[in-house]
Amino acid sequence: MPHTLWIILWLPFLTAGLIAFFLKSRPQAAGIVATTGILACFALSFSLIPVYGNAVQNHLLPYEFFIRWIPLGDTAVEFGVFFNGLTLLMLLIVTGVGALIFLFSMSYMKGDPGYSRYFACLSLFTFSMLGIVLANNLIQVFVFWELVGLSSYLLIGFWFEKPEASTAGKKAFLTTRVGDVGMMIGILMAFGLLSQNGAGSFNFIQLQAALPGANIPAFWMTVMVLCLFLGVAGKSAQMPLHVWLPDAMEGPTPVSALIHAATMVAAGVFLLARLDFLFFASPMASQIIAWTGIITAFLAATMAVVQDDIKKILAYSTLSQLGYMVMALGLHAAGAGMFHLTTHAFFKALLFLGAGSLIHAFHTQNIWEMRTPDLTRKMPVTAVTFLIGTLALMGIPPLSGFYSKEAILAVASHGAAPMFWLALTVVFLTAFYMGRLFVALWLGAKNQLASQRSIHEADWRMQVPLCVLGLFAMGGGFLPVTRLLEHAHTEHAHGPAWLLWGALGLAVAGFVSAVCLYRTDRAGLSSKIKALKGPVQVLKMKYYFDTFYDFWIAKVQENVAYAADLFERYVIVESGVNGTAAFTRFCGDLLRRFQTGSVQFYALLFCTGIAAGLAILILGGRL
Amino acid sequence: MIPATHYLIVSGALFAIGILGLFLRRNVLLILLSIELMLNAANLTLVTGAAVHGHLDGQIIAFFVMVIAAAEVTIGLAVTVLLFRKSESVDTEEITWLRG
């Protein structure tokens, strides 16, 4: 088994290297190599399913294999692989959804001058993501965490000649970096707090074993967990570090599907599940995590309502669903959270790829310009699969989203009451903004522009992933995800009896009200919206988060930096460094006077010195 | 017999003349000469001490001093020659290259 895991980890790295060094000028080959590589990874991951079954029966899990990487006194930073049900689940999601998106990209990115670079970056991303999934210790997680950030940066800014894209890349990189600093502090705190009992370690298994007897003060436990959570919030785009995700939509659409919907943003949720023993150790921190999640879910869902860009709508929707998952993890329901992560990976990747297919056909991202009366006839595959994704996201049975969302709502019903009501509101809002999207795409009035253009499906490489993801978005709810998670067996959260029908009713209500509201012609709509000018403005300005950050960075931080610069320039450099030099020079100037160059003066001093010395000794009675 | 005090007075006088010469003369050669004078004053003291105590150590050290003085004067004269070659002068007033 270690060999399989090692190969799964390093194969994408190998393909990335191959493309970077040998296939730069041969895009066709680059695409094939990268896609074959990840398909092989998926096949290997799939072959681990029976291995997992055997291991469970023989009680061999969690399994780990590692080498000592950096020795640190008694302990060491290790580099290794960790295998349990959670690993298997994530391996299958990352390589499976990844393989489909690689295939989709081969057609979507055709003709792009950076085709080879694209696949090299995508392979690098896969490598980094698998590194997080397979890591057996915190330092390795952190290393790959940063690598994921790097590949995300490279792919968001893939069209770097576009200023928006390169700015968005920088924004994503820097925002997640804020979280990662917290995460680094959290990792070191975890090590330090346990070191006091002589049990300091970065290894998951050892940490888990040492934690119950560690006797860490509750306050420091909470601080440590919240620091680690900051990293999670950065990567999984939770409030208030969520601002980078909508901007990250500047990257190519398959990238948005893979990185910013299905896998990378789920890394934070995955880490919460992987380190559940740490995160669950502080009830206070768990509460904060759950509230962060639900507030993110709610605010993001409201912002999605006013977006006109199809990818932005999906981005805010991703934020919202990630908020759900984080809330579930905050309420100690790793099973429900990971279940939703899995189904979300399917249907959100599907929606993004569908959006990619639409953008490919319409050459615009504005949903109102995609209005065409006969989308279903011209692009049957895209239309049908997109509809499946929409319904799955809204939580309509028997599609996958229904089951995972029910699980999460059942968990939320055991949380604080306002949290539960917010969670239900998000169900309504989700259905509402997806209904709005539905109206824009399917019920549009005849649009002159769109009907003139020849709208058609792309080739099979774009259709196959859509169909496969469509199947999983439909049937994903029946996958035995929770059986893969060891302690998830015990958590059988049951909501109130009316929850099932209530949530479904809310979803339908949201959808219907969106259809009724947006079905009318745009003139009538704009008069309705005018009545709501204030709230809409707030939503359009994204709750002024970006405005506030701009103000904070440009006005406050810049001035602090300026003051610090002045302090350094004048206090440290001028008085400190140059002051020392000036003092030395002054002393030197004084002492220089004695160096007359006259040999006899030296002789005089010399003799005087001896005479003085002798006098002291004699008068002191020592001679 | 001449008492030891007389020798010591002569020695002191010689040393004083030598040290004044060292401080006041400007000619390098004369400075070297003054140093020789001081060394010999020291020798005289040493020999006097040896005679007074009836011990040979003082005389032996006097011989060492002579040897060292010979070596010193050799180097001193060589330096003087080089100084003269370089600056056409053996006046210490003019040789002040090491002024800070």
Could you tell me which residue, A277 or A534, shows the higher pLDDT? A277
- Which residue from A326, A269, A4, A6 is spatially nearest to A136, judged by alpha carbons? A6
pLDDT at residue number A527:
62
In a domain, B92, yes or no: no
In a domain, B20, yes or no: yes
pLDDT at residue number A472:
85
In a domain, B99, yes or no: no
ipTM of the complex: 0.84
pLDDT at residue number A451:
53
Mean pLDDT (chain A) is 84
Whether residue B18 contacts residue A598, with contact meaning beta carbons closer than 8 Å, is answered with: no
A243-272: average pLDDT: 86
Instruction: Please name the residues in contact with B70: beta carbons below 8 A apart, sequence gap of 6 or more.
Output: none
Label residue A504 by pLDDT band (50, 70, 90): confident
Instruction: Please name the residues in contact with A175: beta carbons below 8 A apart, sequence gap of 6 or more.
Output: A234, A241, A243, A244
Chain A positions in Cβ-Cβ contact with residue B98 (cut-off 8 Å): 595, 597
Does the beta-carbon distance from B23 to A600 stay under 8 Å? yes
pLDDT at residue number B9:
94
pLDDT at residue number A486:
64
Chain A positions in Cβ-Cβ contact with residue B92 (cut-off 8 Å): 598-600
- By C-alpha distance, the chain B residue nearest A591 is B100
The 3-state secondary structure of A435-488, one letter per residue: HHHHHHHHCCCCCHHHHHCCCCCCCHHHHHHHHHHHHHHHHHHHCCCHHHCHHH
Instruction: Please name the residues in contact with A470: beta carbons below 8 A apart, sequence gap of 6 or more.
Output: A350, A384, A385, A388, A389
Please check the confidence at residue A218 and state whether its pLDDT lies above 90: no
In a domain, B76, yes or no: yes
DSSP string, A243-308: THHHHGGGS-HHHHHIIIIISHHHHHHHHHHHTHHHHTT-HHHHHHHHHHHHHHHHHHHHHHTT--
The Cα A302–Cα A112 span in angstroms is 35
Whether residue A336 contacts residue A407, with contact meaning beta carbons closer than 8 Å, is answered with: yes
The Cα A440–Cα A215 span in angstroms is 57
Summarize chain B as % helix, strand, coil (round to 5).
80, 0, 20
Q: Which two tokens stand for residue A287?
A: 């509460």
The Cα B61–Cα B44 span in angstroms is 11
Label residue A185 by pLDDT band (50, 70, 90): very high
Q: Which two tokens stand for residue B65?
A: 């001093």
Q: For B11-20, write each residue's pLDDT tens digit.
A: 999 999 999 9
pLDDT at residue number A203:
84
pLDDT at residue number A453:
59
| Start-to-end C-alpha separation, chain A | 87
Whether residue A38 contacts residue A95, with contact meaning beta carbons closer than 8 Å, is answered with: yes
A367-393: average pLDDT: 79
- By C-alpha distance, the chain A residue nearest B97 is A597
Lowest mean per-residue pLDDT among A175-189, A459-473, A491-505, B63-77:
A491-505
What is the share, in percent, of chain B residues with pLDDT greater than 70? Answer: 99
Lowest mean per-residue pLDDT among A128-132, A230-234, A598-602, A612-616:
A598-602
In a domain, B61, yes or no: yes
In a domain, B73, yes or no: yes
Whether residue A472 contacts residue A345, with contact meaning beta carbons closer than 8 Å, is answered with: no
Nearest CB to A598 within list B22, B24, B96: B96
| Residues spanned by the domain of B61 | 4-87
The Cα A340–Cα A413 span in angstroms is 16
Q: Read off the CATH number of the domain in which B19 is found.
A: 1.10.287.3510
Q: Is A590 near chain B, with CB under 8 Å?
A: no
Could you tell me which residue, A375 or A101, shows the higher pLDDT? A101
pLDDT at residue number A528:
63
Q: Is B93 near chain A, with CB under 8 Å?
A: yes
Q: Chain B closest CA to A607's CA: distance in Å?
A: 9
Query: Angle A85-108/A460-475 helices, nearest 10 degrees?
Result: 150
A542-549: average pLDDT: 78
Residues in chain B: 100
The Cα A240–Cα A217 span in angstroms is 27
Residue type, A116: S
Q: Which two tokens stand for residue A240?
A: 């208030």
Please check the confidence at residue B27 and state whether its pLDDT lies above 80: yes
What is the share, in percent, of chain B residues with pLDDT greater than 90? Answer: 61
Q: For A397-445, write each residue's pLDDT tens digit.
A: 888 888 888 888 888 888 778 888 888 888 888 888 888 888 877 776 5
A605-617: average pLDDT: 92
Q: Which two tokens stand for residue A306?
A: 């006013």
Q: CA of A541: how far to CAs of A221, A348, A537, A545, in Å?
A: 37, 25, 6, 8
The 3-state secondary structure of A114-152, one letter per residue: CHHHHHHHHHHHHHHHHHHHHCCEHHHHHHHHHHHHHHH
Chain A positions in Cβ-Cβ contact with residue B19 (cut-off 8 Å): 607
Chain B positions in Cβ-Cβ contact with residue A601 (cut-off 8 Å): none
Q: Which two tokens stand for residue A569?
A: 């320039």
Could you tell me which residue, A482 or B67, shows the higher pLDDT? B67
Label residue B45 by pLDDT band (50, 70, 90): very high
The vertex-A344 CA angle with A507 and A461, nearest 5°, equals 115
Q: Is B92 near chain A, with CB under 8 Å?
A: yes
Nearest CB to B92 within list A595, A598, A607: A598
* Most confident by average pLDDT, A43-52, A304-313, A604-613: A604-613
Place of tokens 């029908």: A501
What is the share, in percent, of chain A residues with pLDDT greater than 70? Answer: 93
In a domain, B8, yes or no: yes
Please check the confidence at residue A447 and state whether its pLDDT lies above 70: no
In a domain, B97, yes or no: no
Does the beta-carbon distance from A607 to B99 stay under 8 Å? no
Nearest CB to B23 within list A593, A597, A604: A604
Q: For A527-544, write each residue's pLDDT tens digit.
A: 666 666 667 777 777 777
- By C-alpha distance, the chain A residue nearest B23 is A600
pLDDT at residue number B36:
93
pLDDT at residue number A565:
92
Q: Is A58 near chain B, with CB under 8 Å?
A: no
DSSP helix/strand/coil, A70: strand
pLDDT at residue number A466:
84
Residue type, A262: A
Could you tell me which residue, A59 or A294, shows the higher pLDDT? A294
Residue A209: its H or E element = helix A204-210
Interface with chain A: mutation pick from B29, B91, B92, highest number of A CBs within 10 Å: B92
pLDDT at residue number A277:
83
Q: How many domains does chain B divide into?
A: 1
Q: Chain B closest CA to A574's CA: distance in Å?
A: 27
Instruction: Please name the residues in contact with A593: beta carbons below 8 A apart, sequence gap of 6 or more.
Output: B100
Could you tell me which residue, B68 or A24, shows the higher pLDDT? B68
Does the beta-carbon distance from A599 to B22 stay under 8 Å? no
Whether residue A416 contacts residue A331, with contact meaning beta carbons closer than 8 Å, is answered with: no
The Cα B14–Cα A513 span in angstroms is 124
